[in-house]
Chains A and B, each alone.
Chain A
């Protein structure tokens, strides 16, 4: 299974390398948000009780998570393309491990969003954001991003198998990402949220990922906060991955 995953992962990497422009395009959105929200909410930081020096400092973890959401939530679309192109059938008639087919796709999307998130982080630094520069902490933050990327890519791939059609898949993608993001503290500190939104945050996996990244990238990293967030994100991605693989295994008409 691992060997199959590796060969298929390589295939997807090769394909992305041959269309680097597309990876670049999906970077544009988080960069624009970094810029727009960074400027729009600049004076938030003047409010009493705002938890960071400047708004952009606060927003960086949020925009990193947004990069993940927008980079991997539509990963299933290309699975549908592959199904209709016949390449999935080609894999399925071979003895290749079924889990490897899902795993390689999901890993590929997750690695892609880690690279994108790294670029966004550098861009944020260039716009004057300050975070922890400790390479270990940055790596830990990226590990959360990898896990969340796996989770959303797995969700999207699993939904693709269930829905079998692009249009509803894209609708579901939108439905998943947008509200989850606004129901988290990605852009607005918890303190400023209405009570009910805060309550929803408790069951929002994105909230935990944002907290984990924010805790570890803070000037004074909060390792406990990170550990909780990391743990929940890990469980979330394991569960979604399991679900996607079993959805794929039952994919047989």
Chain B
């Protein structure tokens, strides 16, 4: 249904988006392109849908060449972009009707098709409401419906559940799978959610830096890793090679991959190998901060083939508008200097030394958003929150306005030492002390 041979695409900015990519999608299959932002997923899909040109390669969709037979390709595909392509100021019905007209359908056909699609996506009740009143999930369903108005056989979904909450995401997965089951629609979707690729796709293609690293059924990919994954987090390992070599001498270690200061080891049995691995580490005098082990997930497959976790390799390298203008009009030098002066935000928490983290916290002015986000990320144990709470109440009794207590430190994370400035404390007062009815981050009542 879709065939790509040696596709090359470079953006005008010089960024290489797709590098010698080849891929075949057979009729009736759901194939997921899995990769972080900037891996080349969207670029590939934009070439397939005739939205983008390309430099080299041979690409056909539904038997038509995407370069020389654009019209025919367009007529036979449906496309749902990352951004909702439906118009907010029109009703659902008007959106569908307009799309039908653009696909040159007759009025009668459009009307009957709208009924069919509204029924299928359970949008009948809201069909005459303005889209601006729809929820995110409804909007996405309408978007898919508009893409299907002309009964295409191939559907392209670019990050179909991006920004949706979990229930809407799962419900959308059901619709997508049903479309594939009932109408044997060929679906090519891109995603950077591992779960989505795992649950939805017949085959998963892992894409990294514009190239497909591996393509197979999700179960097979996970099976290939066999056994368990033990991850050792080191604090500032200086001798990575030495560590890897020493640990690799254990015969139960089948493979290993460094991801920054974390070493992922693929072993036959996680539970029995951990003590022996730790032992090896202490012989080397290197400090293991944190150990975890798990059954392989697609992320492990991803690490195996790309050398980094999908979250860690997120980069928004595509189409930065200012790159086009940067350096023109005399701003270039200044911009460069500014960039150099900025603290490196990409540094992840795990790379920080304790001193650095403390220093950072002292200097940082916390915004409300950040505080809230921190709250979300922090996993509070019941004891911790209870203890902190007690402190807090005492302090409040002693002095309403001067809050000097700190919450307990979590054992092995450096990021949650608390900032020591008054702004933050004001936040904490507002958000926590006075909110009697608020649930605590661990879900317990005050």
Residues of A within 8 A of B (CB): 3-4, 7-8, 11, 14-15, 18-19, 84-87, 89-96, 164-165, 168, 252-253
Contacts and interface: CB of A to CB of B under 8 A. Distances in A.
B350 to A, nearest CB: 35
B321 A95 contact: no
A20 to B, nearest CB: 12
A84 B83 contact: yes
A91 B102 contact: yes
A168 B324 CA distance: 12
B89 A92 contact: no
- Which 10 A-B residue pairings sit nearest by Cβ, starting from the closest? A86-B83, A90-B85, A86-B85, A96-B102, A94-B102, A93-B79, A7-B101, A15-B89, A86-B81, A95-B74
By CB atoms of chain A within 10 A, which of B71, B81, B146 has the most?
B81
Interface string B60-87: 0000000000010011010101111111
A93 B146 contact: no
Interface residues of B, number: 36
Contact of A164 (B90, B94, B324): B324
A149 B102 CA distance: 26
B6 interface: no
Interface in B358-382: none
9 contacts: A7-B101, A85-B85, A85-B88, A93-B51, A93-B74, A93-B77, A95-B75, A165-B321, A253-B46
A94 B103 contact: yes
A248 to B, nearest CB: 13
A18 B89 contact: yes
A95 B85 contact: no
B52 A89 contact: no
B74 A94 contact: yes
Contacts of A4: 101-102
B98 interface: yes
A190 B155 CA distance: 62
Contact of B98 (A7, A86, A92): A7
A19 B53 CA distance: 37
Given A85-B85, A87-B85, 20 more contacts: A3-B101, A4-B101, A7-B101, A11-B98, A14-B90, A14-B94, A18-B130, A85-B83, A86-B84, A89-B51, A89-B81, A90-B81, A90-B86, A93-B51, A93-B74, A94-B103, A164-B324, A253-B51, A253-B52, A253-B319
A4 B82 CA distance: 25
A14 B99 CA distance: 15
Contact of A253 (B12, B49, B75, B88): B12
Contacts of B258: none
B11 interface: yes
Contacts of B51: 89, 92-93, 252-253
Given A91-B102, A93-B49, A94-B103, A85 B84 contact: yes
A15 B131 CA distance: 12
Given A93-B49, A94-B103, A252-B51, A11 B81 contact: no
B50 interface: yes
A89 B143 CA distance: 12
Contact of B82 (A86, A165, A252): A86
B18 to A, nearest CB: 12
Contacts of A86: 81-85
A247 to B, nearest CB: 15
B446 interface: no
A92 B88 CA distance: 18
Nearest to A89: B81
B99 A94 contact: yes
A84 to B, nearest CB: 7
Contacts of A165: 321, 325
Contacts of B254: none
A64 to B, nearest CB: 29
Nearest to B49: A93
A8 B79 CA distance: 19
A84 B50 CA distance: 18
B104 interface: yes
Contacts of A252: 51-53
B99 to A, nearest CB: 7
A225 B94 CA distance: 46
Contact of A95 (B79, B81, B82, B104): B104
Contacts of B71: 95
B64 to A, nearest CB: 12
B102 A7 contact: yes
Nearest to B74: A95
A90 B103 CA distance: 11
A3 B107 CA distance: 13
Contacts of B74: 93-95
Nearest to B87: A87
A85 B95 CA distance: 14
B11 A253 contact: yes
